[in-house]
Structure 1
Amino acid sequence: MINYITSPFRWFFKLEAASGLMLLIAAVIALIISNSDLNETYFNILNTHLLIGTQNFGLDLSILHWINDVLMAVFFFVVTLEIKREFIQGELSKPKRALLPIIGAVGGMALPALIYVIINFDTGYTLRGWAIPSATDIAFSIGVLSLLGSRIPISLKVFLVALAIIDDLGAIIIIAFFYSSELQYT
């Protein structure tokens, strides 16, 4: 009986496109809720604190911080390990193959930033946001790739994921150098 009930769920999660579909559905639901009368409830839920551990020893973070700081760190860790494997023994192990996503990422960061600067050149205050368009949302990039499933070759997937990761690393470096006034270790 349990197998009968759970088999559609197991089938869905075995699909390569399942994670991308879930990401797309969650994004649409979040957009609808945050732009409706439920937006206050939505943001209250995101700001609700969740303690893992005890008061003396544990992490007490808002749900938003759990998502942004903890889960995204795990996500980046896993994706970076996959790319490292590709650079060491996979599709990007040869310098010529690795150079293409690096050049693509640099161009993908520089061109949007340049367009932003050209559009906002006379505005002064908004000109300071030039780095914002230089970042790629890696989670959505991978989500879209997973929606395509096996219809695209593995080498293209590796290239696009490497491009998104290198782009995000570049954005982190830009933020560290241009938007940080000082490093805080606490």
Structure 2
Amino acid sequence: MYERVENSQQQQAFESMWEHICKRNNWINDPYDPKGIRYNLLFPQDRRFPFFNKKKIIGTIEFLRYNPKSPYCTVEGQGRYCFSELKEIKQYTDRVWEIDKLCLSEKFQHKGYFTSFFHVFEDHIFNHRPKFYIGLMEKKFFQMMQMKFGFAIESKAEMKGPGTSLMAVVFDVEKLMNDIKKVETLKKLAKI
């Protein structure tokens, strides 16, 4: 389950989760782009007694329209990768989105909840038709993503980040969505 962040209460919950993760991992908390599309990943509710359930946020993700000149761009600039020089990014600039502020609470890691992000990606893909997602990911996280998504996600470079190695990645959304077998497997994992 997830919710799109559309009001100040949801935004406050998003910020609380994300900033906790930043502090815990000693990450830099980039400013929030007013045009960013944010989602809160929610703990699945008990369907038998929904009125007893309090909404619990277990993760976050933000999508930003790629604009290397934007002050909110988190993937391009000094000390970062030059995605704007890639042929495929130049060709589809209007269909490239940055992935930022992606996290899953440490209490829910390694317990099968990460696949719930597939619902969020599916919603964003359906509504915005991206060709590529780009981002900077921790090396271990990239390796896990590559196991899930295969050749649709590709590393362009490895860089040193604050306390960790970061991978500059390009995620070919259309390549993944055209792999019917992979999509069906992901849907089963996410229990769609």
TM-score range, shorter chain: under 0.3
Larger Rg: 1
Higher strand share: 2
If the length of structure 2 is used for normalisation, what is the TM-score?
0.22
Higher helix share: 1
If the length of structure 1 is used for normalisation, what is the TM-score?
0.22
